[in-house]
Structure 1
């Protein structure tokens, strides 16, 4: 595991799984504890630069979710939404004796963090390019599901060539469906260069594949595009029939929320290149049944609506847009990300 100087890895055995946890050397200073949760097809390795950049009195932890990084590749029950992940994170937090922590979630990890906040005490929430509170794909603006079987969402939406590249451990830069190309084309904005790109690819390749992990299973559907969400594996955790965390607006105790996103995000947007309905609308996938039956998901508008409801009911949130950044503002503009995060944690 490619660790940066100043970061150490340890295994934590909980009552749920054996988890890999990164900590910054010197953790235990007695200051606020920040717990980082990575996104899909990644791991805790992505958080290392931010962990190292935090002030010395902030304790930084990053947890590998099941089936990613160095954590146990336990199966994922998608019928529980992302609760397998959020319950795992809580089990680690409890084992470490951290109490209410400041949670930072990226992409799918943002959904994990929101689910965690529904079930357990939280000091603050930071969402980086989070999945919509209504899941990924298959919903109208108000969260209404487009079909009862969530057609076009879940495990069947993964590109088989990308899954094959993960299984093969492909580190090449020639394969357009390989992790390096997907990282360059989707995780960050065009033109962004990092000296740690090999580490990010290694992180992606740590993903456990198969119907129980990534991408998960799928079932046939009479609705376009011909498949629907299954009940196992990572992508199905975010299908709208399994996942809905919009109830955060109803929390009795509302931790402050910081929402960070890039304006060049190809994955989470109101025109996502990973939303099959948007691809159908664009003519990339044939047979699209039209705007009434299969509109593109308005991911940003959904998140904003839920957070505005959160604020109207006594909470507070701020939305910070990183101009020119893609799906990974913390990698692309780390100084600004750290400044915002530290102020958010200190003000909680």
Structure 2
């Protein structure tokens, strides 16, 4: 049975879920943006009994203490929260699983504290060079101020409906509509529980999406210094030397082939939307090319492997951004293989 409780750490109070009475090798499951640990509950229930699954809520999500996010630190507010949580529970090296933004948090924790990670599983992760505003496999900025990334990329109507707790699907910007059209390839039968988790997201300049700064570069906005989306802007978050960490735990990268959020043609990348004509006055690929998110992750993991690390990429055909919910059997098989091989 999944139980939930609060864990006091030296940074904040974390709400988490665990399986009552379960011991074994700890598997820490880190959720993504506009969600909570509830997105991991099915995976927790399905993991073999030799593992101890733990699903914390990140700050500003679920029922964890909603401290503000300092975006100038990239994803380190979250990764250091996670480290303090592991220490509060007295956990040694853990199997770390990060989905979407949680993948970036897991990468940051590995980069800063590799001794705390036994294995790393990245599930449809944000690029090591953040979300939006870069080009090339090495994540070069399209503009020095990061124009095209950060909080300016959030749809105001989505933010409004999220903050108002909208549960319906009358608007394409309603959380339920976004869940059905972007988080997954096909709608989930138990969508209500995930909509409820999305609605725990704190909104505003300190949380989601963050503050926005004007830019003279298309599309006219640059990342600010506060909030969630700015913490993933390439001016604040980039991991371009992952291959230097020691020790090097094995890394599984698993993703859905039909993901429209993290993709080389992401429907959430303003540059790609400009190329499609959805945002006017796009200056063209020579000035503002779409971000090759998958190519960037692949290149970073290739350098990690060349330096002695073990990596594996698993593509689940037809799955979307939430492969662990859409194709749980295939996801679990790949995950358990990685955990057992450590």
Q: TM-score, normalised by structure 1?
A: 0.96
Classify the secondary structure of the residue corresponding to 2:169: coil
Q: Name which of 43, 46, 56 aligns with 1:53.
A: 46
Is the aligned partner of 1:326 residue 2:338?
A: no
1:174-200 CA distances to partner (integer Å, 9 max, x unpaired)?
A: 1211100000000000xx243320000
Separation (CA, whole Å) in 1 of partners of 2:171 and 2:281 = 28
Q: CA RMSD in A?
A: 0.8
Q: Name which of 67, 82, 92 aligns with 2:85.
A: 92
> Is contact 1:79-1:237 (8 Å) kept?
yes
Kindly report which structure 2 residues correspond to 1:151-230, keeping only aligned pairs within 5 A, or say none: 151-189=147-185, 192-230=186-224
Separation (CA, whole Å) in 2 of partners of 1:118 and 1:234 = 20
- Counterpart position of 1:8: 3
Deviation (angstroms), 1:157: 0.9
Kindly report which structure 2 residues correspond to 1:7-26, keeping only aligned pairs within 5 A, or say none: 7-26=2-21
Deviates more, 1:334-343 or 1:110-119: 334-343
Classify the secondary structure of the residue corresponding to 2:249: coil
> Is contact 1:32-1:345 (8 Å) kept?
no
Kindly report which structure 2 residues correspond to 1:238-317, keeping only aligned pairs within 5 A, or say none: 238-317=232-311
- Counterpart position of 1:82: 75
Separation (CA, whole Å) in 1 of partners of 2:157 and 2:234 = 25
Separation (CA, whole Å) in 2 of partners of 1:152 and 1:312 = 32
- Counterpart position of 1:3: none
Is the aligned partner of 1:68 residue 2:61?
A: yes
Is the aligned partner of 1:129 residue 2:129?
A: no
Separation (CA, whole Å) in 2 of partners of 1:9 and 1:59 = 14
Is the aligned partner of 1:339 residue 2:328?
A: no
Structure 1 runs (4+) deviating above 2 angstroms are 192-195
- Counterpart position of 2:30: 37
Classify the secondary structure of the residue corresponding to 1:246: coil
Deviation (angstroms), 1:233: 0.1
Structure 2's unaligned 5+ residue stretches are: none
Separation (CA, whole Å) in 1 of partners of 2:217 and 2:333 = 46
Deviation (angstroms), 1:252: 2.4
1:128-164 CA distances to partner (integer Å, 9 max, x unpaired)?
A: 0000001001111121111110001101110000000
Deviation (angstroms), 1:246: 2.4
Classify the secondary structure of the residue corresponding to 2:135: coil
1:40-90 CA distances to partner (integer Å, 9 max, x unpaired)?
A: 000000000000001111000001000000101110000000000000011
Count residues in correspondence: 339
> Is contact 2:210-2:229 (8 Å) kept?
yes
Separation (CA, whole Å) in 1 of partners of 2:212 and 2:187 = 36
Separation (CA, whole Å) in 2 of partners of 1:7 and 1:78 = 33
Separation (CA, whole Å) in 1 of partners of 2:92 and 2:120 = 14
1:250-285 CA distances to partner (integer Å, 9 max, x unpaired)?
A: 212111000000010000000000000000011100
